[in-house]
Structure 1
């Protein structure tokens, strides 16, 4: 579950990089997106590392202690907000008002 989320972030980073290289994203916006992706990557890596160092009885979120649950939910929230912003930006770019 966590590695899939990290893989999705890496795919998104590649797409943003390509869009920046093709000048489909403004330089200022590209820097903001890159910074946000880096922050989400950092949070996911930290969460994965903390879970690898802690034995769990099951792979479900319920087996995690409350702090890890909070960190995981926070990471998912930031990832979902970030993806929503990317989609909104792309739709605005493709269909200017």
Structure 2
């Protein structure tokens, strides 16, 4: 493992936590706009339809993946700018 990759490990973990929190906030705002209630349904909500539960879960997953990718990519690009080495790259 090269020095850049090792140095990025704790940064990547911190960015993962930040991206999860950001994704949760984004999802809540999106659900307020498109959903019927303030809170998204849980899979075990008896009073919610299958359709609503599956749409909420799919949307939440897509938002999480997009935010995580954007934050991870930004972190890697910043490390590259600072060190000249792309984290995770063997070159």
TM-score range, shorter chain: 0.3 to 0.5
Larger RCO of the pair (alpha carbons < 8 Å, separation 6+): 2
Per the normalisation by structure 1, the TM-score is: 0.43
Structure richer in helix, relative to its length: 1
Which entry has the higher C-alpha Rg, 1 or 2? 2
